[in-house]
């Protein structure tokens, strides 16, 4: 078993760190709100630290799951950052969804200190984190990934190295691009069923067994029909991720017309006051147009 630091105890990080402790690893946590770190330590029997550097000191693996590029830089760099406490040979695993630029910058900074950096964004939502069934897509050196994978397995349903540094983040962008189109399509289908006077549940019972079936349909159609949107990844977070996708598309020359359109639809949802609604709330926008 390993000595592990976990930085960031949001709706994803809190249960992920718990799975590590339950698997027998010695876990020290850090959170910007210290009371939450103490609550985690009280619940799971691990330790908490006052700074990322303190949490990372002596750790073989440091996991991070924070909010955005700036948050990640703040827990990694500076005199109180994790890199300042890590020793050569340790592995930093970033589960945050961030830009390709910050991944490249932090990978280079880690290497200067002899630390390996694995970008390992996650998919599966809060339920996946709580159930230890996340999909983890990784980029980085093969040896670093090989060492980290058994630790990540504590909360992963599937974990794969896709390629060198940045490949994990690029794969997560593919994930978000696919989800955006799927949720818009599902929203339009359910909205159409409502306008046509059909029973949405009966419709989904039939079409979900054919080519239209998807995870989004299976897990979100009922709450969408019930006008309930407190069940997953928030619109504010999705817009942050889609912005990263669109920026990367400009760099790579990829064409993402549907993604760009759905991003604007999510902007409309934010204007409706739905920034904290889950991503299936795209249907709210259609209903608001009635």
The catalytic residues are: 172
- From the CB of residue 205, how many other CB atoms can be counted at a distance below 10 Å? 11
What is the spatial distance between Cα 30 and Cα 5, in angstroms, rounded to a whole number? 8
68 — alpha (psi -120 to 50), left (phi > 0) or beta?
beta
CB 192 within 8 A of CB 270: no
The DSSP line for 100-120 is HHHHHHHHHHHHHTT-EEEE-
Q: HSE-up of 286 (CA within 13 Å, CB side)?
A: 21
Strands 116-119 and 156-163: unpaired
């Amino acid at each position: 078993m390993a000595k592990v630091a976990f930085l960031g105890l949001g709706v994803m990080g809190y249960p992920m760190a718990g799975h590590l402790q339950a698997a027998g690893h010695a876990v020290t946590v850090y959170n910007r709100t210290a009371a939450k770190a103490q609550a985690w330590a009280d619940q799971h029997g691990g330790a908490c630290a006052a700074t990322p550097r303190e949490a990372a000191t002596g750790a073989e693996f440091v996991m991070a799951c924070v909010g955005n590029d700036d948050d990640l830089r703040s827990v990694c760099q500076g005199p109180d950052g994790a890199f300042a406490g890590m020793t050569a040979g340790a592995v930093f695993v970033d589960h945050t969804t961030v830009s390709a630029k910050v991944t490249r910058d932090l990978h280079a900074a880690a290497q200067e200190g002899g630390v390996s950096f694995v970008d390992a964004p996650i998919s599966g939502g809060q339920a996946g984190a709580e159930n230890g069934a996340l999909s983890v897509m990784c980029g980085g050196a093969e040896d670093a990934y090989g060492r980290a994978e058994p630790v990540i397995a504590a909360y992963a349903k599937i974990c794969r190295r896709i390629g060198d540094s940045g490949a994990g983040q690029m794969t997560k962008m593919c994930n978000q691009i696919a989800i955006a189109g799927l949720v818009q399509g599902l929203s339009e289908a359910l909205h159409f069923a409502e306008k046509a006077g059909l029973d949405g549940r009966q419709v989904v019972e039939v079409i979900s067994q054919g080519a239209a079936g998807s995870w989004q349909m299976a897990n979100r159609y009922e709450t969408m029909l019930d006008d309930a949107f407190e069940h997953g990844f928030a619109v504010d977070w999705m817009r942050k991720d889609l912005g990263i996708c669109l920026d990367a598309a400009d760099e790579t020359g990829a064409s993402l017309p549907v993604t760009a359109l759905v991003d604007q639809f999510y902007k409309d949802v934010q204007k409706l006051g739905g920034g904290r609604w889950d991503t299936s709330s795209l249907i709210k926008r259609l209903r608001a147009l009635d």
